[in-house]
Amino acid sequence: MEALESLCESCLQAGASDLFLREGAIPFVRLGDQLLPLETVPASEDLLDHLWSACGAKPDATDHDASLVTRSGLRFRVNLHRQLGVRGAVLRNIKTQIPTMEELGLPTELLQKWFTRPSGLILVTGSTGTGKSTTLAAGLEWLNQTATRHIITIEDPVEYLFQENLCRFTQREVGADTPSFAEGLRRALRQSPDIILLGEIRDSVSASTALQAAETGHLVLASVHSGSAAEAVERLHRIFSPAEREDASALLAAQLVGVFTQQLVRGLSKKLFLVAEHFENQAATRQWIRNGGGTELVDFMQISQSPENRSMTTSLVQAFRDGHISMEEALAAAPMADEFRRAAMGISSQAFQVAQD
């Protein structure tokens, strides 16, 4: 018990999202997109015995999902499993302390404007471990302090527990409370929601239902795994069958509020620094979205002078010039390294194209 408590505390202190245990191996944690070993002894047989018992799993269990609350009040979702006959576990920290948008370094004015829209679809995108859930939670917590809304979340797993203030929360976990994202979303429409958080759009059914919910007067927040804002639009375009695509893309063009794509870059302070690209759906972008995104959206974010629209390259250049990240980290995170180098020197893409011509 003491060893498990200590490991859970180490996970929290490191700011990690997940703790990985395997019998006889050094524990490690997930910090952003990094997997880092803990400076401790290998997980013992006794530790796994205790964890199996604390989670209510049978001694011979091969797969078991459970929740765990430590003596200090830390909450975890736990998956117990075996690999090659060896017991292992992954513990996901469920947070109750939700950071503010300012603490995360988010563009608060833009996101607050989006989160107060009466209806529509907001997409927060990025790869695994880039903090999409944290960004969404920070936005909902801001609403919780400033507005009265009924907010339904459908997640797998639940990552943040909200303490109700002005808002009322119905938090549903896929598997435990509802069989799937699509079914949970469909049922949510009968539960008088103002805002629906869909943990992830995974298929055409959940995408279609999310768009229908937005069309019928609800604000839908959803995450999508994609490396860029334009790629998120392309992915949603492709998620539908050819027979569905035209109508679904027209609905997406009409209901999309905006796309916010983020990644975490190791900063000069050794902490992870958030950089993002985003665009707000306007008259100029609707036709491109209807056609599936593409280079037009990329160019639009790159050359737009509006604060609602910003490319990843622009954000990386700003972070580099402000002394938050190194040149090496910026180049590694840049969509196109040569474009970043030119932008960092103050050479615009348009000027470079003219010179080439």
**Nearest residue to 275 (alpha-carbon basis) of 287, 283, 267:** 267
Average pLDDT over residues 10-31: 90
Same domain, 120 and 178: yes
> How sure is the predictor about 351, in pLDDT bands with cuts at 50, 70 and 90?
very low
Q: Can you tell me the mean pLDDT for 271-297?
A: 92
Asked if residue 311 lies in contact with residue 302, where contact means CB atoms within 8 angstroms, the answer is: yes
* Residue 10 within a domain: yes
Do residue 134 and residue 28 come from a single domain?
no
CATH number of the structural domain spanning residue 117? 3.40.50.300
Q: Which of 83, 50, 42 has its CA nearest to residue 68?
A: 50
- How many CA atoms are closer than 13 Å to the CA of 11, on its beta-carbon side? 26
Mode of pairing for the β-strands spanning 219-225 and 120-126? parallel
Q: 274, 294, 310: which is the final residue of a domain?
A: 310
Using the 3D structure, point to which of 94, 128, 151 is the last residue of a domain.
Answer: 94
280 close to 149: Cβ distance less than 8 angstroms: no
251 and 113 share a domain? yes
Whether 25 maps to a domain, the answer reads yes
- Over the stretch 37-55, which tens digit does the pLDDT of each residue have? 999 999 999 999 999 999 9
Does pLDDT of 158 surpass 70? yes
pLDDT for residue 313: 95
Residue 254 lies in a domain: yes
Residues 51 and 122 in one domain: no
Q: For residue 97, which of 145, 41, 163 has the smallest C-alpha distance?
A: 163
* pLDDT at 287 (0 to 100): 92
If asked whether residues 161 and 251 sit together in one domain, one would say yes
Note whether 110 and 191 are same-domain residues.
Answer: yes
User: Are 134 and 76 part of one and the same domain?
Assistant: no
Structural domain ending residue among the three candidates 79, 94, 109: 94
Confidence band of 322 (pLDDT split at 50, 70, 90): very high
pLDDT at 357: 42
Averaged confidence pLDDT in the chain: 91
Mean pLDDT of all residues in 278-283: 95
Whether residue 66 sits in one domain with residue 108? no
The CATH number assigned to the domain holding 39 equals: 3.30.450.90
Tokens of 125: 């995108």
Q: What is the mean pLDDT of residues 288-293?
A: 89
pTM of the model: 0.83
The interaxial angle of helices 337-344 and 349-356, nearest 10 deg, is 100
What percent of the chain clears pLDDT 90, i.e. is strictly above it?
A: 73
Same domain, 123 and 266: yes
- Which distant-in-sequence residues (6+ apart) come within 8 Å of 336 by Cβ? 313
94, burial (CB in 10 Å: exposed 0-12, middle 13-18, buried 19+)? middle
Q: How confident is the model over 98-154, as pLDDT tens digits?
A: 999 999 999 999 999 999 999 999 999 999 889 899 999 999 999 999 999 999 999
Strands (DSSP E) found in the chain: 18-22, 28-31, 34-37, 63-69, 75-83, 86-94, 120-126, 150-155, 168-173, 195-198, 219-225, 256-266, 272-280
Residues 41 and 86 in one domain: yes
Positive or negative, the Cα torsion across 302, 303, 307, 309? negative
Is residue 68 located within the same domain as residue 126?
no
- Tens of pLDDT, residue by residue over 187-217, are 999 999 999 999 899 899 999 999 999 999 9
Residue 124 within any structural domain of the chain? yes
- 76 and 124 in a single domain? The answer is no
Domain assignment of residue 251, yes or no? yes
Measured between alpha carbons, how far is 335 from 297 in angstroms, rounded to an integer? Answer: 14
Range of the domain at 244: 101-310
Q: What is the total count of domains within the chain?
A: 2
Residue 233 is assigned to a structural domain of this protein: yes
Higher pLDDT, 99 or 356: 99
Q: What is the pLDDT of residue 347?
A: 64
How confident is the model over 80-92, as pLDDT tens digits? Answer: 999 999 999 999 8
